[in-house]
Amino acid sequence: MTDPLLGPCSPLVPPLYQSSVYNFPDLDALDRVMNGAEPGFIYSRDGHPNAASLAAKLSQLEAARWTIVCGSGMAALSACFLGTLSAGDRVIASESLYGRTTKLLREELNRFGVKTTSVNVSDLEAVRKAFAEPARVLYAETMSNPLCRTPDLPKLAEIAHAHRAKLVVDNTFATPVLVRPLEQGADLVMESLTKMIGGHSDLSLGSVSGNDPALVASISQIVSTWGLAAHPFDCWMCERGLATLELRVRASCANAAQLADWLPRQAQVSRVIYPGREDHPDHTVARRILGQGFGNMLCFELKGGREAVNRFMRQATGIPFSPSLGHVATTISHPETTSHRYESPGEKLRQGITDGLIRMSVGVERFERIRDEIANGLSLV
């Protein structure tokens, strides 16, 4: 049918459907859409064209049968847990997670009778032991925030499935350009699209992808009912970011690898953490699991602790301090006072999150520009 406004033309770029609700010519048409006999949308909390279009592209990227887009990474993660867990269930979770995820598990889900046991997921024997008590979900980050611990996904999947548990992973740090967790055995993969996939720090979105048709039905229902849906404008922006994702990942990984070589040679730096370095505890696994590079995230520690970080920040003004990641340009953050602020001092120490630790999200600028700005910052540390 020819469009009355566009005639035979169609827009090159997907249009933005900002409407929160859709019209129907009659009840029969409504029934056909509600029964799934015809495609269509009713109310944007339940679904809209921009979310559907973005989800289709993400499914391709993740090699998934389905993807559901949510209003943030935390909304997507909440949808994963609400869709797989009930009161009385147990989660075996990595002990190195984004701080807000730890809070979701230990405080929010705990209030609804879900218990969490934390393990070092790089220690497969510890994971096996944790299954001595039944668990419904094994949860890990493919590359952990902030220290880039990279567990052996196929082995984790094998252990989880042997105990009839689901492997759920957060792939935000790695992105599906470096690893497609569903191909490595994960049952659900969650991404914070707010980060590298959106890529420009101007939207808030998350996604859940999987292959199991039973899970898509229950998670869709949860997203509608708990109100976790994404807004059309953010989805539209994210599709635009997606177009350059692979280019950005490749360029920023190459910059990060060069920085991971250069930083240890600076006198003010005591430690550099990057999975591409042979001294990273998961280097061998990362080499096997990740394609196209070791990621754009790295951490380095300044010898002078918090005050050295303050001096670095005040001097290296060309590298913004912004407690997020995956921006097109390089940014830094400080896990001790941001993402892991509410962890106990003992827990931070155990994870190696010290007050001198800087987390860097490396961008796509010319390498020399990033290096010179860091050198400038270090000159006054």
Ligand X SMILES: Cc1ncc(COP(=O)(O)O)c(C=O)c1O
List residues binding ligand X (CB under 6 A). Answer: 72-74, 98, 141, 145, 170, 172-173, 192, 194, 204, 206
> Least separation, in Å, of the C-beta of 20 and ligand X?
22
Cα–Cα–Cα angle for 97, 272, 356, nearest 5°?
75
DSSP 324: -
Indicate the residue among 184 and 204 with the shorter CB distance to ligand X: 204
Indicate the residue among 49 and 206 with the shorter CB distance to ligand X: 206
263: nearest Cα among 144, 175, 362 = 362
> Least separation, in Å, of the C-beta of 70 and ligand X?
9
Indicate the residue among 74 and 167 with the shorter CB distance to ligand X: 74
Cα–Cα–Cα angle for 44, 47, 51, nearest 5°?
105
Indicate the residue among 74 and 188 with the shorter CB distance to ligand X: 74
Q: Cα–Cα distance between 95 and 120 in angstroms, integer?
A: 6
Q: Cα–Cα distance between 360 and 326 in angstroms, integer?
A: 10
Indicate the residue among 175 and 204 with the shorter CB distance to ligand X: 204
Q: Cα–Cα distance between 203 and 344 in angstroms, integer?
A: 31
Q: Cα–Cα distance between 366 and 376 in angstroms, integer?
A: 16
CB 301 within 8 A of CB 314: no
Residue with tokens 């979770």: 93
173: nearest Cα among 286, 66, 342, 10 = 286
> Least separation, in Å, of the C-beta of 285 and ligand X?
18
Indicate the residue among 268 and 330 with the shorter CB distance to ligand X: 330
> Cβ neighbours of residue 19 under 8 Å, at least 6 residues apart?
44, 48, 232
Q: Cα–Cα distance between 166 and 98 in angstroms, integer?
A: 20
> Least separation, in Å, of the C-beta of 100 and ligand X?
6
Indicate the residue among 59 and 144 with the shorter CB distance to ligand X: 144
Q: Collapsing DSSP states into helix, strand and coil, what is residue 103?
A: helix
CB 184 within 8 A of CB 154: yes
